[in-house]
């Protein structure tokens, strides 16, 4: 074999090696982007909205003079735009139970159409 042919073969091998390196580099970049996306999603899940302050504002505005259910509280919060996004009823109920534990509200059983629901009102 002549040296020209050997040089030509070596150049071809070098080109293939460079192509493989480029493909591997792109694969690593894609892999890094995926890991960043996964991390940002997990951080969003941990954010919670503290509903105790908006509900205390309703308490201070004498909203709980009459017995109110958690659904009525949710509707009032949405109407008055006291929260950034629509809160879940379970979160509202947890905040209301916390206010009962503190001693601000009283929890009563309200029976309508054979269905028992809890309502909350000011402590007398």
Question: Domains of the chain: which residue ranges?
Answer: 1-47, 52-122
* Sign of CA pseudo-dihedral 16, 18, 19, 25: positive
Q: Which residue has the tokens 């379970």?
A: 90
Q: Are the beta carbons of 110 and 67 closer than 8 angstroms?
A: yes
Please report which confidence band the pLDDT of residue 17 belongs to, taking 50, 70 and 90 as the band edges: confident
Mean pLDDT, residues 2-15 taken together: 88
Confidence at residue 40, expressed as pLDDT on a 0 to 100 scale: 53
Mean pLDDT, residues 13-31 taken together: 77
Mean pLDDT, residues 65-74 taken together: 90
> Does the pLDDT at position 10 exceed 80?
yes
CATH 3.30.365.10 fits 52-122, yes or no: no
Confidence at residue 89, expressed as pLDDT on a 0 to 100 scale: 86
> HSE of 121 in the Cβ direction (CA atoms, 13 Å)?
9
Q: Are the beta carbons of 52 and 93 closer than 8 angstroms?
A: no
Residue 116 φ then ψ, to 5°:
-100, 125
Q: What angle do CA 90, 95, 97 make, to 5 degrees?
A: 90
> Does the pLDDT at position 4 exceed 90?
no
Confidence at residue 97, expressed as pLDDT on a 0 to 100 scale: 92
Q: Are the beta carbons of 104 and 82 closer than 8 angstroms?
A: no
What's the whole-number average pLDDT of the chain?
A: 81
Please report which confidence band the pLDDT of residue 77 belongs to, taking 50, 70 and 90 as the band edges: confident
In the chain, % of residues over pLDDT 90: 16
- How many angstroms separate the CA atoms of 63 and 40, rounded? 39
């Amino acid at each position: 074999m002549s040296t020209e042919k050997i040089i030509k073969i070596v150049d071809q091998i070098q080109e293939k090696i460079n192509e493989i390196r480029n493909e591997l580099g792109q694969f690593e970049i894609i892999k890094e982007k995926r890991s960043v996306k996964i991390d940002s999603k997990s951080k969003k899940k941990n954010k919670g909205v503290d509903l105790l302050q908006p509900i205390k504002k309703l308490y201070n505005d004498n909203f709980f003079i009459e017995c109110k259910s958690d659904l009525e509280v949710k509707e009032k919060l949405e109407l008055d735009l006291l929260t950034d996004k629509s809160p879940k009823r379970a979160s509202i109920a947890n905040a209301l139970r916390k206010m009962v534990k503190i001693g601000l509200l009283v929890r009563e059983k309200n029976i309508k159409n054979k269905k028992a629901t809890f309502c909350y009102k000011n402590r007398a």
